[in-house]
Structure 1
Amino acid sequence: MDKEHVLGHLRAAKSAHIKWVQKAKLLINGIDVKEDSIPVDSTECKFGQWFYSEGQILNALSNNPVECMVKIERLHFNLHDVYMNIFNIYFNKPKDGFFAKLFGKKNSIEDYEADKARQYYVNLEIISKELLEEINRLERRLIAVPEERIKELV
């Protein structure tokens, strides 16, 4: 694997994170989003899958302090923790009966619940912004590493 390959995977993981956050925004804006399209578990989303597999290689970069990866992991975990609150508002409600499902009636939430979900989303955006800043730092460090060093890691 060369540096461009590793960078490409990092950028794809970052892009997947951005799409994940956008889906959460659609949900709180009243757009019908499938329950499983926004993974709650931090190891099940595409960013988490990258981070806990190929992303771990970047721990060995000499110019990448261990704290960087620890901070990314903590922020990513916190992000999913906040999303769990939104998920519970929209998806962990008692299911409607047979006729509601048959005629397409979806579970509705109260106005106060929607307000609470929007508050959670504001926090989610703040954490996401900080996470993206850390990912961008990691990307800059990776760019600065010589190609030969990358090949040694992989």
Structure 2
Amino acid sequence: MEKNTILEQLRAAKAAHINWVQRAKMLISGFKMEEDAIPVNSTQCKFGQWFYSDAQRLNGLRNNPLDCMSEIEKLHFELHDIYLNIYKIYYDLEPQGFFSKLFGKKKKITDDSVKLAKEYFASMEEVSKKLVNEINLMERRIVALPDTDLETL
């Protein structure tokens, strides 16, 4: 695989992560968001889809200089765990019937709930900063690798 392709995919995944965090912020700020606009499952968001597919090929590098993969995975899981708390505030976890979905059964959000969601989001932002730093580190390491090391992927 060519270095440029790997870097483009990495940068697109990083941008997808940043957008995911921004959608969570919009939800807390009062914007109406569909439940599936901010995936709870770490393998369903665009970053997770990249991480568990194309990014895993990077583990095949000889003398793998990308030891940040496990830290990225840990931070990514942590983010989704925190977001699950926010999700529970804004969306029902109970399965909805046809008419509830059709007529938009809305969960009542109190001021205290919003305050709690903002606290969770502050934690999310801190973890997100760490994740972006790890992604940036990964990018610098890939840039430094000789092209020949990446051609075998």
TM-score (norm 2): 0.89
* 2:147 corresponds to: 147
2:116 is aligned to 116
Which 5+ residue runs of structure 1 have no aligned equivalent?
A: none
The Cα of 1:135 is off from its aligned counterpart by 0.2
CA distance in 2, matches of 1:136, 1:29: 28
In structure 2, what is the equivalent of residue 133 of structure 1?
133
Q: 1:101 to 1:43 in 2, by over 3 A?
A: closer
Alignment of 1:2-151 (within 5 A): 2-61=2-61, 64-65=64-65, 67-92=67-92, 106-151=106-151
SS at 2:6 equivalent: helix
Which runs of no fewer than 5 residues in structure 2 stay unpaired? none
1:105–1:44 distance in 2 versus 1, CA, 3 Å: closer
Q: Quick check: 1:90–1:109 contact (8 Å CA) kept in 2?
A: yes
Flag the 1:63–1:149 CA change in 2: closer, same or farther, 3 A.
same
CA distance in 2, matches of 1:137, 1:64: 14
**Closer, same or farther in 2 for the Cα pair 1:66/1:150, shift >3 Å?**
closer
Q: Deviations over 1:74-97 (max 9, x none)?
A: 00000000000000000026799x
Q: Number of paired residues?
A: 153
In structure 2, distance between residues paired with 1:44 and 1:9: 16
CA contact (8 A) 2:41 2:80 kept: yes
Q: Tell me by how many angstroms 1:47 deviates.
A: 0.3
Percent of aligned pairs with the same residue?
53
- Write the distance in 1 (CA, Å) between the matches of 2:54 and 2:99: 47
SS for the counterpart of 2:44 is: coil
Note the C-alpha offset of 1:57.
1.7
- Sort the Cα spacing of 1:78 and 1:100 in 2 relative to 1 into closer, same or farther, 3 A: closer
- 2-structure distance, mates of 1:113, 1:9: 37
- Output the aligned Cα RMSD: 2.5
Larger % of helix: which? 1
